[in-house]
């Protein structure tokens, strides 16, 4: 198991990161909570990682905070929740918002996330509630920082739409989510954050 990676950030295109670790390029999938905290390209970063082994691929998932990785590991233990859906949940809500949904039995907020139907939302509430005591200290009391990231190159709007599609939204829905945002000089991460906030209302 690869517990963490420390290396130079080479490329970032949500949800994929490329990290140069002593000359070896690691492709890592990360939630938007991690992208919001990323520094400029070329900066050294450390990611807490979780390796998923499948018959056709080995996939690394990376997180800027240990609490996010803990939450990810708890989510994928829920019946019907795989790594991709867990990544979507982490991208669509902060840890604090997610746990509030669990405590309040708020299935309506959960079903707004792509890929989460009513049955999955109910299952999340039932199964995650049992795991809250183990995660409460790190995930609720230390929610991820959402400071403004460094802007990505190319076209932030198109990159945001592409990232939303990777998180499970249909292209038409992703386009509509971004269409209502005043873009200005906003980075890709800022656009995605605002789109996800709008989808949660």
Asked if the structure places residue 93 within a domain, the reply is yes
Same domain, 87 and 59: no
| Tens digit of pLDDT at every position of the chain (201 positions) | 789 999 999 999 888 999 999 999 999 999 988 998 899 999 999 999 999 998 888 999 999 988 889 889 989 999 889 999 999 898 888 777 788 888 888 999 899 888 889 999 999 998 887 776 555 544 444 444 333 333 323 567 777 877 888 777 877 777 778 877 777 767 888 888 888 887 766
Distance CA 13, CA 161 (A): 11
Residues 56 and 71 reside in one and the same domain: no
Residues 34 and 94 placed together within one structural domain of the fold: no
In a domain, 146, yes or no: no
Q: Examine residue 149 and state whether it is found in any structural domain, yes or no.
A: no
- Among the candidates 63, 89, 113, a domain finishes at 63
Kindly state the tokens that stand for 20.
């140069």
Domain that holds residue 186: 156-199
The verdict on 55 and 70 lying in the same domain is no
The pTM of this model reads 0.68
Question: What Cα–Cα distance (Å) separates residue 33 from each residue in 29, 68, 91, 172?
Answer: 12, 8, 6, 24
Assigned domain for 147 exists: no
Q: Rounded distance, CA 51 to CA 62, Å?
A: 9
Domain of residue 194, CATH code: 1.10.8.10
Least Cα distance to 21 among 35, 4, 34, 33 occurs for 4
> What is the tally of structural domains in the chain?
3
């Amino acid at each position: 198991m690869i517990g963490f990676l420390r290396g130079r950030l080479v490329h970032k295109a949500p949800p994929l990161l490329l990290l140069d670790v002593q000359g070896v390029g690691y492709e890592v999938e990360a939630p938007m909570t991690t992208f919001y905290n990323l520094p400029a390209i070329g900066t050294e970063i450390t990611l807490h990682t979780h390796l998923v082994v499948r018959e056709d691929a080995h996939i690394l998932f990376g997180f800027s905070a240990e609490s996010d990785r803990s939450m990810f590991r708890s989510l994928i233990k829920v019946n019907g929740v795989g790594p991709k859906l867990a990544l979507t949940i982490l991208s669509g809500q902060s840890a604090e918002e997610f746990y509030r949904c669990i405590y309040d039995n708020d299935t309506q907020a959960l079903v707004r996330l792509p890929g989460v139907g009513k049955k999955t939302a109910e299952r999340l509430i039932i199964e995650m509630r049992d795991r809250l005591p183990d995660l409460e200290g790190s995930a609720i009391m230390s929610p991820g920082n959402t400071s403004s990231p460094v802007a990505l190159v190319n076209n932030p709007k198109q990159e945001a739409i592409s990232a939303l599609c990777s998180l499970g939204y249909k292209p038409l829905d992703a386009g509509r989510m971004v269409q209502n945002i005043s873009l200005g000089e906003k980075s890709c991460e800022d656009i995605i954050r605002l789109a996800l906030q709008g989808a949660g209302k």
